[in-house]
Amino acid sequence: MNREEKQLALEELNRREEERVKNGPLAQSATQAVPGEGNPDADILFIGEGPGKKEDELGRPFVGAAGKFLNELIESIGLQREDVFIANIVKHRPPGNRDPLPDEVELYKPWLEEQINIIEPKLIITLGRHSMGWLLGPNLSITAIHGQPKRRNGKVVMPMYHPAAALYRGDLRPVLKADFAKIPKVIELIDKDQGVTAAEQEEEIEKQAALL
Ligand code: URA
């Protein structure tokens, strides 16, 4: 699909999925859906947890204080917010910004999965523990694996701390900046990798990235 076709497919998906979840628990209390936004043909897809108060008001992801820091991080590697795609696991704000419940995550799963299928990003960056768990499985320690690219189901996934965590833990700001600084090199490794078997790619990307 070219960029326009991807854009149309995403819009159609959003209409369909909004209809599907409209009677679900989160949609009832939220102001509106926040499906995500950005370049439908992006190389990089960021996945956060769920909309907060400001996102719920505006219908756009990461537009509050955490979003401001995310924009800064994106710009620190020479990209603009419009170059990437930004989405969340759940598309309606959990009341009071609580964590989404397992059933809620399950309900929104097909929406995010289909976004990934349409956008076909080279690199998925999970922001925070929830989104890491969604893609890489439970019981992983973000402290241990942040900034390390992993391959899952043919996709390269790089877990990172949530930018909101750095707002109350200042020591995480330089950690996030350092992890972001690896992104261009990881994309380069992924590009170089074309044609190698998946198992070899996985090993090679992880090995080389460990040296970054
Ligand atoms: N935090 C998230 O996880 N997602 C947003 O969209 C905003 C804040």
Q: What is the per-residue pLDDT for 153?
A: 84
Instruction: Say whether pLDDT at 205 is over 90.
Output: no
Whether the CB of 126 sits within 6 Å of ligand 1? no
Cα of 2 vs centre of ligand 1, distance in Å, is 28
Phi-psi region of 38 (alpha: psi -120 to 50; beta: other; left: phi over 0): left
Confidence grade of residue 195 (pLDDT, cut at 50, 70, 90):
low
pLDDT tens digits, one per residue of 159-182 = 999 999 999 999 999 999 999 999
Whether pLDDT at 208 is above 80: no
* Model confidence at 201: pLDDT above 70: no
Helix pair 3-21, 102-119: axis angle to 10 deg: 160
Q: Is 55 in the pocket of ligand 1 (CB under 6 A)?
A: yes
How far away, in angstroms, is 196 Cα from ligand 1 center? 35
Ligand 1 pocket, residue 51 CB under 6 Å: yes
Residue with tokens 């609580």: 98
Give residue-wise pLDDT tens across range 26-48.
Answer: 999 999 999 999 999 999 999 99
Q: Which class for 111: exposed (0-12), middle (13-18), buried (19 or more C-beta within 10 A)?
A: buried
For a ligand 1 pocket test, name from 31, 49, 99 the mutation site with the most ligand atoms within 8 angstroms of its C-beta. 49
| 37 C-beta closer than 6 A to ligand 1 | no
Mean of pLDDT values over 61-79: 98
Question: How would residue 199 be classed by pLDDT, with cut points 50, 70 and 90?
Answer: low
Task: In whole angstroms, give the CA distance from residue 187 to residue 112.
Answer: 22
Establish whether residue 50 lines the binding site of ligand 1, counting it when its CB lies within 6 angstroms of any ligand atom: yes
pTM of the predicted structure, to 2 decimals: 0.93
The owner of tokens 């390390």 is 148
Closest residue by Cα to residue 125 from 90, 88, 93, 172: 88
Helix, strand counts (H, E) of the chain = 11, 6
* Locus of tokens 């996709």: 155
CB of 49 closer than 6 A to ligand 1? yes
Helices 65-75 & 172-181 angle (0-180, nearest 10): 40
In this predicted structure, what is the pLDDT of residue 202? 66
Q: pLDDT digit string (tens) for 93-149?
A: 999 999 999 999 999 999 999 999 999 999 999 999 999 999 999 999 999 999 999
Cα separation, 134 vs 49, in Å, equals 10
pLDDT at 211: 63
Assess whether the C-beta atom of 134 lies below 6 angstroms from ligand 1: no
Q: Is the dihedral of CA 131, 133, 135, 141 positive or negative?
A: positive
